[in-house]
Structure 1
Amino acid sequence: MTDSLPVVIASKWISSVLWLLFSYISQALRKRCHYVHRPLAVLIKTGLLLLLFACTCVKASQGYQNLLDQSLLKQVSAIESSRQKLDRGDITINEHLQVLEVLAKSQHPLTAQVVVDEIINIGYVYLDQRHLYAYGYYVNALLQPWLAQVGMKESEGQPQELIYLRARLLRALAQFGRDKRVSQYLGDLAVIYLQGNSTISPVLGTEALRISAINASRNQQNLVHQYFKVAQATPDENLRKSIIQAMYFQDPTSIHYIFKQTHQIDFSSGERLYILQRLFWQNKEQHILYQWLEDDFGKWVAQLPLLYQSVLPEVFTPSCQWDNAQSLYDFFSDRQGIFQSSLQKQLMKTAQCLQVKQLQKPLLNEFLASYQ
């Protein structure tokens, strides 16, 4: 990939020609008396500009198409390169979203997987609450065509890449696309999956449990109790793993229950660490997490190997939020030295993210407005 993706080049071509055309017409209007005596010259020049604009549109179209005609490896590389540039502040979030917009039309299911995963990641890291509704229109515009192609229901004999793609599509459309039909479907699926239905793939079952936890409101406490009860009793390792990966609860009582129960069940160190990471990943308001963790932190640390202990500040991701970064610093800054290297890495990463995010806000508002 070059520094300028085809879609960016195409956009700049169109903008330049439109500006040139606008400037020429404006000048003609200001000097209309002079141009009245030279109508043929005006007509010829305007025609040439329109021809140039038409050629530019063809080039722009080819630029988009060239990206779609690339190999699977190059398409995936384009997305990864674009995200790295965004995180460094080298491109705007609009340009990154345009890359996803183009490659969502790819015929490669694996490219679509990367697009969906990136849409979910962007939703967590770069969006604030006020962006979510507008982002939902963007998500639906990009992903509904793929869902129509793969279908909502699993069928026997499908390749693994389509099984994974469907699960992630449904997750993204339910959570960020705010698709009530998909949310209801996943909610119903979660109930069956918890009962031990082995016809549901683990990846789809996991996403169904995640959406159920995210969407749960009044019954959150009952649901989290059920998750732990099944995890403790089931002989199905896939179901147990799915439950551990679905601890996306947000109400304080459920979070407190998770902290308390995790010590009482024979979870491995890796499983306990994953539960913590999911709680911090899902909750953008993290003060309650630190409040409950303060009481049990010694127990948590004692049950973790030194290697896991040393990276805890990186597990407690602030999700590119200033308040969370401050809470992270307050929690770990006075603790033992084993945490300090990881703490500095996480704070530096968050500072970079916050800087980029602040600069991108006006552009993001403008971009998403076009989807409403």
Structure 2
Amino acid sequence: MPILMAVGFCWSLFTSYTAQALPAHNDLLAQSAERQIHIIVDSRKALDNGDKTINDHLKVLETLAATKHSAAALVVIDEIISIGYVYLDKRNLYSYAYFVNALLKPWLDEVGLKEVEGQPYDMVYLRARMLRALAQFGRNKQIVTYLQSLAPEYLTGDSDISPELGTEALRISAIFASRNQQELVHRYFQVTASTENQELRKSVVQAMYFQDPTSIHYIFEHTPKANLTSGERVYILQRLFWQNKEQKILYQWLEDDFGKWVANLPLLYQSVLPEVFTPSCQWDNAQALYDFFNDKRSIFQSSLQKQLSDTAQCLQVKQLQKPLLNDFLTTYN
């Protein structure tokens, strides 16, 4: 049965947007941090509902990237990461990178690469997320190299690197790991098994963002038998699906080990696994998700239908917005 029949969702494209007047740029920057955050959040909701173009949403981010409020800047950065995951493909990777670097350069100049002793937590966290965005979506090779250089030191569990920066350093190291760096995933698992530093363990679990096939296969093979909690196993699965847009190979490997993964999970976790296997707003991934779970136990079916319905709506909006995004990004080439 085709996935569209399974979700019973109408796939007609939106034909118009709800007109929404935006405050002037100077007015946006004059708002409080709380108000600026609300503006960004409301703008994203309107985008996801099809009530605003992505161009208008990105213009909000353009303006508020110049905010003086670190809390609002952090929301801008998280939006940059979120949009990157949903909307990017090979055609607009580099245009988006120019956009990201242009928006975040003032904050990079403000906070710098290196942590400062005694700095407030909000700046520590902002720096970590900013460097992550610049490395992953700004494709900034200098920052990629810098974060990769921090990872081995942080993995020792005996460094002054904050957990916030350490986590992002581990994530970027995993994302950019090549076939020649397969020992990295072994090291991550070794640390989770041996460290008594709970912050470090949490960082490693939250950084299983590997994309090379050998590392992914290692994770599938070793996670079920590793000394990990059910929550940690589910988190690792979710990140693998979120990070990897080409998911057919994930399902192929998971098919053989699915019983091992599910056996030790509480029923609550089992019941939401289709939502853990996020299709990342990709049509072929949604079809693979449906094919994988449709003939499995009834415990999965409610979560499966919810995930397919959410993905169908995301795909509708994305299909209409992608050309607008590409046009917008031409100004950053």
When the two structures are superposed, what TM-score results if normalisation uses the length of structure 2? 0.93
The aligned counterpart of 1:6 is 22
Answer whether contact 1:209 1:246 (CA < 8 A) is retained.
yes
Question: What CA deviation, in whole Å up to 9, does each residue of 1:162-195 have, x standing for no partner?
Answer: 0000000000000110111111110000111112
Instruction: In structure 1, give the amino acid aligned to 2:115.
Output: E
Instruction: In structure 2, give the amino acid aligned to 1:126.
Output: Y
2:105 is the counterpart of 1:89? no
Q: Once the 2 structures are TM-superposed, how far is the Cα of residue 130 of structure 1 from its aligned partner?
A: 1.3
2:190 is the counterpart of 1:229? yes
2:212 is the counterpart of 1:251? yes
Q: Once the 2 structures are TM-superposed, how far is the Cα of residue 4 of structure 1 from its aligned partner?
A: 2.7
Q: Once the 2 structures are TM-superposed, how far is the Cα of residue 361 of structure 1 from its aligned partner?
A: 1.8
Instruction: In structure 2, give the amino acid aligned to 1:189.
Output: L
Instruction: In structure 2, give the amino acid aligned to 1:4.
Output: Q
Answer whether contact 2:20 2:52 (CA < 8 A) is retained.
no
Q: Once the 2 structures are TM-superposed, how far is the Cα of residue 218 of structure 1 from its aligned partner?
A: 2.7
Distance in 2 separating the partners of 1:220 and 1:255: 13
2:238 is the counterpart of 1:277? yes
**Of 265, 280, 283, the match for 1:304:** 265
Distance in 2 separating the partners of 1:222 and 1:198: 21
Distance in 1 separating the partners of 2:97 and 2:154: 27
What SS does structure 1 have at the residue aligned with 2:179?
A: coil
Tell me: CA distance 1:197–1:129, structure 2 relative to 1, closer, same or farther (3 Å). Answer: farther
Distance in 1 separating the partners of 2:67 and 2:34: 12
2:129 is the counterpart of 1:168? yes
The aligned counterpart of 2:62 is 101
The aligned counterpart of 1:360 is 321
Answer whether contact 2:19 2:51 (CA < 8 A) is retained.
no
Superposition RMSD on alpha carbons, in Å? 1.2
Question: What CA deviation, in whole Å up to 9, does each residue of 1:192-228 have, x standing for no partner?
Answer: 1112233000010000000001111133321111111
Answer whether contact 2:48 2:314 (CA < 8 A) is retained.
yes
What SS does structure 2 have at the residue aligned with 1:6?
A: coil
The aligned counterpart of 1:121 is 82
Answer whether contact 1:104 1:115 (CA < 8 A) is retained.
yes
Distance in 1 separating the partners of 2:140 and 2:21: 32
2:299 is the counterpart of 1:346? no
What SS does structure 1 have at the residue aligned with 2:332?
A: coil
Answer whether contact 2:177 2:212 (CA < 8 A) is retained.
no
Distance in 2 separating the partners of 1:297 and 1:264: 13
Answer whether contact 1:6 1:66 (CA < 8 A) is retained.
no
The aligned counterpart of 1:260 is 221
Aligned length: 316
Q: Which moved more, 1:210-219 or 1:102-111?
A: 210-219
Question: What CA deviation, in whole Å up to 9, does each residue of 1:114-138 have, x standing for no partner?
Answer: 0001100000012222111000000
When the two structures are superposed, what TM-score results if normalisation uses the length of structure 1? 0.83
Distance in 2 separating the partners of 1:5 and 1:237: 48
Distance in 1 separating the partners of 2:159 and 2:146: 17
Distance in 2 separating the partners of 1:120 and 1:149: 20
The aligned counterpart of 1:72 is 33
The aligned counterpart of 2:106 is 145
Q: Which moved more, 1:188-197 or 1:133-142?
A: 188-197
**Of 98, 101, 118, the match for 1:157:** 118
Distance in 2 separating the partners of 1:149 and 1:362: 34
Distance in 2 separating the partners of 1:365 and 1:314: 29
2:198 is the counterpart of 1:182? no
Question: What CA deviation, in whole Å up to 9, does each residue of 1:6-31 have, x standing for no partner?
Answer: 35xxxxxxxxxxxxxxxxxxxxxxxx
**Of 281, 285, 290, the match for 1:329:** 290
Answer whether contact 2:248 2:288 (CA < 8 A) is retained.
yes
Show structure 1 runs of 4+ deviating over 3 A. none
Task: Considering Cα pairs closer than 8 Å and 6+ residues apart, tell me whether 1 or 2 has the greater RCO.
Answer: 2
- Structure 2, unaligned stretches of length 5 or more? 1-17
Distance in 1 separating the partners of 2:323 and 2:83: 16
The aligned counterpart of 2:200 is 239
Answer whether contact 2:54 2:325 (CA < 8 A) is retained.
yes
Distance in 2 separating the partners of 1:264 and 1:338: 24
Q: Once the 2 structures are TM-superposed, how far is the Cα of residue 264 of structure 1 from its aligned partner?
A: 2.1
Distance in 1 separating the partners of 2:221 and 2:281: 27
Distance in 2 separating the partners of 1:228 and 1:86: 39
Distance in 2 separating the partners of 1:268 and 1:200: 25
Question: What CA deviation, in whole Å up to 9, does each residue of 1:49-83 have, x standing for no partner?
Answer: xxxxxxxxxxxxxx111111111111111111111
Instruction: In structure 2, give the amino acid aligned to 1:141.
Output: A
Q: Once the 2 structures are TM-superposed, how far is the Cα of residue 5 of structure 1 from its aligned partner?
A: 4.3
Instruction: In structure 2, give the amino acid aligned to 1:241.
Output: K
Distance in 2 separating the partners of 1:251 and 1:333: 28
What SS does structure 2 have at the residue aligned with 1:139?
A: helix
Tell me: CA distance 1:5–1:166, structure 2 relative to 1, closer, same or farther (3 Å). Answer: farther
% identical equivalent positions:
69
Distance in 2 separating the partners of 1:78 and 1:131: 26
What SS does structure 2 have at the residue aligned with 1:351?
A: helix
Distance in 1 separating the partners of 2:305 and 2:88: 24
